[in-house]
Chain A
Amino acid sequence: MSDAAFNIDTKLGKPWKKPPFVQRTWLRWALLAGFFAYLIAAYMTIEVNWTRVYEGLERGKQFVLAFTSPDFTSRSSDIWEGMLESIIMTVASSVVGIGISIPIALGAARNVAPLPVYLICRGIIAISRALQEIIVAILLVAIFGFGPLAGFLTLSFATIGFLSKLLAEDIESMDRVQAEAIRASGASWAQWINYGVQPQVMPRLIGLSMYRLDINFRESAILGLVGAGGIGATLNTAFDRYEYDTAAAILLIIIVIVMALEYLSGIIRARVQ
């Protein structure tokens, strides 16, 4: 294939350079200069109060030292209750959230769903992602009152935005020919999804679900701060009373559980490749 307008002689004997991303020279330099000017100005506006930092270092030290003597015992019943509540919230919200996410993910994949369905599902995902967990939790606590119900609903809602979006993207990037072959056999839409699409996205779905379980557990510790139940409430109380040793104990338990979940998800994903 040779282009008629292309003359090889004009190119020979000259060095070649990759064409720049921004074609116009003045615009390229203006963008770069503007970015660096903004960066310097931004750093200059961040104020540092050094006397405050010096005082704070002492509190920070106490906090870190508390980890050397975590106190699991004196508030053990509170910790136990909070943990149990958090785990219940995590499991319940993950199951409900994932269950709702799957149909929405199918709707939000352009190669599977027609345009109107696609737009609706993308809209749901956008809303769920735009609203930060804490904001949703504050709203739901206002509606349903303090306790794990608000936390459960918040986490379910947040799971939809996360899982649907990532699963939909995996469905969109699946191998088209494998799915096409199933359609060519005269399969119905549901059969096509079950045989042509589901096997291709299953490892990703399982991996994402495990990751979301992990996130939901960590979030449940945060949601307690706004009164949505779980271990976060216990943690908040401990901080309010300056009981850093109890707080340290709670944080250590959270770290251990998150690590255990990470290990578990590694095993499961290795099995379902």
Chain B
Amino acid sequence: MLRLEKLVKTYKTGDQALKDVDLEVPESQVLALIGPSGAGKSTLIRCINRLVEPSSGKVYLDDVELTGLSSGALRRERRRMGMIFQEYALVERLTVMENVLSGRLGFVGFWRSFLRRFPQPDVDEAFRLLDRVGLAHMADKRADELSGGQRQRVGICRALIQNPALLLVDEPTASLDPKTSRQIMRLICELCKERKLAAIINIHDVALAQMFVQRVIGLRLGAVEFDGPPEGLTPEVLTTIYGEEDWEATIEKVEDEEELASAP
């Protein structure tokens, strides 16, 4: 349902963030994108919905080619791609409800959104989603009053209210504590399963990625180094992605955590 062909991004500074990336994501598959800082993970995700313009290559969402779209057509396609951000990226001085409803901006006209008169089904759906993530009682709070985990859950609602086919998730747990990180990852994966969404989750916590996803892509210096199931991440593979390091501790930790997670 999503296909990248020979995607290249070279920044104005000359840094080549992506080198000929080919990738195919089938319907309702959740995949994790791992790799060291600067490997091009964020760039890859942003090239898909063109928050960053790719230098060359093609991006197909179903049968629509995204890189050549006009701004109007791009807006229509962006509605089908929900995005969840590192550091949440909520508009802090808006209320929780306004933040969630901002996910519907691609569907309502300017004056309706300006007057905050969203269609009733949208408002109902916003409340249902907030209730699903346990925040319905916070709807009228301002976003900057929430804790990190709560903010990220609002971010998830904002992405899901678009009713997207694909979720682009950029480091969802980077600023959260380990327990909240797991809750957020579990929530994202559960919601993807419920709604049959495909998702690309950009994450630097390898152990966390292994716990939740079906497929892992390892990115190094803008090129795909690994593509396979989470069990395939052996110390050798991690060394090719990240460089030399003692990986036994990381992998053992994964097993411990899996036991812990299945215990209660």
Contact = CB atoms under 8 A, between A and B. Distances in A.
Nearest to B111: A190
Given A199-B94, A200-B91, A187 B83 contact: no
Given A187-B102, A188-B110, A195-B102, A182 B78 contact: no
A202 B93 contact: yes
Contact of B78 (A186, A199, A202): A186
B89 A178 contact: yes
B110 A177 contact: no
B93 A194 contact: no
B93 A185 contact: no
Nearest to A197: B91
B67 interface: no
B85 A187 contact: no
A186 B89 contact: no
Interface string B78-97: 11011101010111111000
A182 B100 CA distance: 10
Interface in A148-202: 177-178, 180-188, 190-192, 194-196, 199-200, 202
Majority secondary structure of chain A interface residues (helix, strand, loop or mixed): helix
Contacts of B77: 186
B49 interface: yes
B92 A186 contact: no
Contact of B162 (A177, A180, A185, A194): A185
Interface in B130-171: 155, 158, 162, 168
B75 interface: yes
A188 B83 contact: no
B256 to A, nearest CB: 32
A195 B105 contact: yes
Contacts of A186: 75-79, 105-107, 162
Contacts of A196: 91
A184 B110 contact: no
B51 A183 contact: yes
Interface residues of B, number: 32
B28 interface: no
Given A195-B94, A199-B93, A200-B91, A185 B103 contact: yes
Contacts of B56: none
A187 B93 contact: no
A85 to B, nearest CB: 36
Contacts of B87: 177
Given A178-B92, A200-B91, A202-B93, A185 B110 contact: no
A190 B109 CA distance: 10
B113 interface: yes
Contacts of A199: 91-94
A194 B113 contact: yes
Contacts of A188: 75, 105-106, 110
A180 B51 CA distance: 7
Nearest to A183: B51
Contacts of B107: 186
Contacts of B155: 181
Contacts of A182: 91, 102, 105
Interface string A198-238: 01101100000000000000000000000000000000000
A131 B113 CA distance: 40
Nearest to B106: A186
Nearest to A182: B102
Contacts of B93: 199-200, 202-203
A191 B89 contact: no
A226 B85 CA distance: 57
Which 6 A-B pairs rank lowest in CB-CB distance, beginning with the nearest? A186-B106, A187-B105, A186-B78, A181-B89, A186-B79, A199-B93
Interface of B: 49, 51, 75-79, 81-83, 85, 87, 89-94, 98, 102-107, 110, 113-114, 155, 158, 162, 168
13 contacts: A181-B83, A181-B89, A183-B51, A185-B106, A186-B78, A186-B79, A187-B102, A188-B105, A191-B114, A194-B110, A195-B94, A195-B105, A202-B93
